[in-house]
Amino acid sequence: MAGTSSSSTVTNSISTVHHDIIEAHILTRLDGPTLASVSCASSHLHKLASNEILWSELRRSTWPSTATFSDDDSRLFFSDAYSVIDTAGPVSDPDRPFPELISAVDVHYRGELILSRVVKTETTTEWFRGSPLRIDLVDTKDTVPTPIKRGRWTEDTCRDLEKELTLSWIVIDPTGKRAVDLSSHRPVSVHRNWLSGGVEAKFATVVGSVECVITVVTCGEEEVHVKEVSLKVEEMEGTHLNGKDSLVILRSVMEGKRGNGRRRDIESKRRHEEFMEKKREMKEKKMRAELVFDILTVAVGILGFVSLVGFYLWSR
């Protein structure tokens, strides 16, 4: 009873504060999850925290690439984009047209925005539906300057990028008004490409037996530039899904079960490591099967040769 009384006292005290003060000086300082929690505290706070303008400002500050988006349904968008993928779900209307896929991407280094773009991909062409899905943000002839100062290559470079480089890649179905962030927030792996000399940071989200992979490739020695940011969907066997099959996966993810996004990077890395372990096991199993097949093929060949020689000698 004491706890209930205390909660009631706090709620009553808040209700006496002018709503302008709450909106302008309290709610605007909260992040999305905290604002959502506050809206459940009382009907008064729920009404104030449901202001779409408030959620629009929060959405734009969290994902600058969405600055030009409409203010409508900003709270729903935040809920979709912030939450982490748990499991894919059945597509409610598989025959509904999906003519366009929108990608809103933001890359930060140590909290500073270094790349923010929106890309629209037409999904109805035969080329898109039949070719392996690949969405590129940076033109092959361009690079994007960054504040990253690398100097001489060391292992600390990888560790720095694993800790300080963050990325969000929100794919949006404008017709169904659903969205999902396919990124792991922080890289699941960072390594140097010894052929090109660049550094590759991999962000990933596992969905069942496939993985949505986002690759960020940097170049330059003293001043680091971003020369590639791309999205692909890979099967466990290593093949890339085409556009048609990728859309099925994306729609099932948008309509699937979501979880709390606060531990996105930790959970995504754990799932990625499990995915890679299964991938290695599958590859080893395939190699063993191929080895057995090769041995049997050689054995049958030798047996056939011996039989042929024996028959030849016997016929003489």
DSSP 113-164: EEEEEEEEEE--SHHHHHSBP-EESS-TT--EEEEEE--S--HHHHHHHHHH
Which helix (H) or strand (E) segment holds residue 300: the answer is helix 264-315
What are 33-68's pLDDT values in tens digits? 888 788 777 887 878 878 888 999 999 999 999 999
DSSP assignments along 169-213, one per residue: EEEEETTTTEEEE-S-BS-SEEEE-TTT--EEEEEEEEETTEEEE
Q: Looking at residue 160, what is its pLDDT?
A: 87
Would the pTM of this model clear 0.95, i.e. be above it? Answer: no
DSSP 89: -
What are 255-292's pLDDT values in tens digits? 888 877 778 888 899 999 998 898 888 888 888 888 88
* Residues 6 or more apart in contact with residue 109 via CB below 8 angstroms: 146, 147, 148, 164, 165, 166
Q: Looking at residue 2, what is its pLDDT?
A: 45
Q: Are 27 and 14 in contact (CB under 8 A)?
A: no
User: Distance between CA 278 and CA 276 in Å, rounded?
Assistant: 5
> Out of 8-12, 73-77, 109-113, 140-144, which region has the weakest mean confidence (pLDDT)?
8-12
Is the pLDDT at 79 greater than 70, yes or no?
yes
